[in-house]
Amino acid sequence: MKDKKVIFMGTPEFSVPVLEMLIKETNVIMVVTQPDSYVGRHHTLTYSPVKQVAIDNNIEVYQPEKIRNEYEYILDKNPDIIITCAYGQIIPSILLDTPKYKAINVHASLLPKLRGGSPLHRAIIDGYDKTGVTIMYMAPGMDDGDIITQEEIKINDEDNVGIIHDKLSVLGRDLLLKTLPSIFDGTNTRTKQDESEVTFAYNIKREEEKLDFNKTAREVFNQIRGLYPFPTAYLELKGEVIKVCASRIGDTKKGSCGEITSIYKDGIGIMCSDREIILTRIKPSGKKEMDVKDYLNGRKDNLLGEKIC
């Protein structure tokens, strides 16, 4: 595959294993990624992870502000194929149709389930018992192109979005490597998506990060896992914003929603609509992430009966 000219389009850490594999196995002639962004309290201008990999491998980087208006330079490179993975912009049809082998995408869900920008988070938050990676032909709509190959993994209660991110990032790399030869020799399958099975993974909104104890304990448990370690769920206790990193489902079924019903050696029990959720690891405002037992040791007040906002 070293004779195939590839343009890779991607941005976050999730895309890095895919790009590194393509650099090793094909001829990556250019990397397209999002413009540099200002990060942190000091507003440090920062490269995307994909850009850094390209620089480290002496590969040209192109960073259009709006690719729908700035695609001619990509076409001028005359790539054999365009491969995308979590790029972050809608790609115009001319880029999808012009290359000899078209444009394919590595998507982090089992399409047609979870089309959109946050499939990792939504798979856990929405209570899916499995997820996976889809290699697909790109189309003008949102993740609605024909499926080439798929591979799935189970979602366990011990998984959070960070763990699933790492698993699918590697799975995407390996599945793409297995799939590319069939694309280049024309033997790959091409399956239309079943529109009746479509679900969506819309980007996480700020208001969705706040825990809602009117939900069931399982729903809150999934919300915590589905938002950790990025962006992380939170609650408000006595005017303090506390991020919640880990929990388990408890047995207590008495109390009102949002009430602290139990204090354990290793956790704080809060009543949900059906039973309590026990918070076991948190990040208080202005402090480092810690086990709840250490947080409780540092408090002198009694939290029993307090209501969570």
Work out the average pLDDT over 105-116: 98
The pLDDT score that the predictor gives to residue 5 is 98
Could you tell me if 261 and 276 are in contact, meaning their C-beta atoms sit under 8 angstroms apart? yes
Could you tell me if 48 and 32 are in contact, meaning their C-beta atoms sit under 8 angstroms apart? no
CA 117 vs CA 25, 108, 255, 257: distances in Å: 27, 9, 37, 32
The pLDDT score that the predictor gives to residue 220 is 98
The pLDDT score that the predictor gives to residue 241 is 96
Tokens at 65, concatenated: 């502000």
The pLDDT score that the predictor gives to residue 132 is 98
The pLDDT score that the predictor gives to residue 195 is 96
Work out the average pLDDT over 212-237: 98
Task: Evaluate if residue 290 carries a pLDDT over 90.
Answer: yes
The pLDDT score that the predictor gives to residue 43 is 78
The pLDDT score that the predictor gives to residue 42 is 75
Q: What is the pLDDT of residues 276-285, one digit of tens each?
A: 999 999 999 9
Strand order in the sheet with 130-137: 61-62, 27-32, 5-10, 81-85, 103-107, 130-137, 147-154
Task: Evaluate if residue 309 carries a pLDDT over 80.
Answer: no
Work out the average pLDDT over 213-232: 98
| CATH number for domain 5-197, candidates 3.20.20.140, 3.40.50.150, 3.30.460.10, 3.40.50.170 | 3.40.50.170
Q: What is the pLDDT of residues 57-68, one digit of tens each?
A: 999 999 999 999
Could you tell me if 142 and 203 are in contact, meaning their C-beta atoms sit under 8 angstroms apart? no
Work out the average pLDDT over 32-48: 87
Helix (H, G, I), strand (E, B) or coil at 74: helix
Task: Evaluate if residue 270 carries a pLDDT over 90.
Answer: yes
The pLDDT score that the predictor gives to residue 308 is 93
Q: What is the pLDDT of residues 175-193, one digit of tens each?
A: 999 999 999 999 999 999 9
Write out the DSSP string of 191-220.
Answer: B---GGG--B-PPPPGGGGB--TTS-HHHH
Residue 10 burial class via C-beta count within 10 angstroms: exposed 0-12, middle 13-18, buried 19 and up: buried
Domain coordinates in residue numbering, the chain: 5-197, 206-297
Buried/exposed code over 263-288 (b: 16+ C-beta within 10 A; e: otherwise): eeeebbbbbbeebbbbbbbbbbeeee
The pLDDT score that the predictor gives to residue 44 is 87
The pLDDT score that the predictor gives to residue 121 is 98
The pLDDT score that the predictor gives to residue 296 is 93
Tokens at 66, concatenated: 């709006």
The pLDDT score that the predictor gives to residue 39 is 80
Q: What share of the chain is helix, strand, coil (3-state, %, to 5)?
A: 30, 30, 45
Q: What is the pLDDT of residues 67-94, one digit of tens each?
A: 999 999 999 999 999 999 999 999 999 9
Task: Give 123's pLDDT tier (boundaries 50, 70, 90).
Answer: very high
Percent of the chain with pLDDT strictly greater than 70: 100
Could you tell me if 124 and 222 are in contact, meaning their C-beta atoms sit under 8 angstroms apart? yes
Contacts of 48-55 spanning 24+ positions with Cβ under 8 A: 48/11, 48/12, 49/11, 49/12, 49/13, 49/15, 49/16, 50/8, 50/10, 50/11, 50/12, 50/15, 50/16, 50/19, 53/16, 53/19, 53/20, 53/23, 54/19
Task: Give 300's pLDDT tier (boundaries 50, 70, 90).
Answer: confident
* Residue 29 burial (CB count, 10 A): 16
C-alpha angle 16/106/169, rounded to 5°? 40
- Give domain 206-297's CATH superfamily: Formyl transferase, C-terminal domain (3.10.25.10)
Task: Evaluate if residue 41 carries a pLDDT over 80.
Answer: no
Q: Which of 164, 105, 162, 113 is CA-nearest to residue 137?
A: 105
Q: What is the pLDDT of residues 147-179, one digit of tens each?
A: 999 999 999 999 999 999 999 999 999 999 999
* Phi, psi at 134, each rounded to 5°: -120, 130
More confident residue, 299 or 214: 214
Mean pLDDT of the chain: 96
Helix (H, G, I), strand (E, B) or coil at 180: helix
Tokens at 159, concatenated: 């998984």
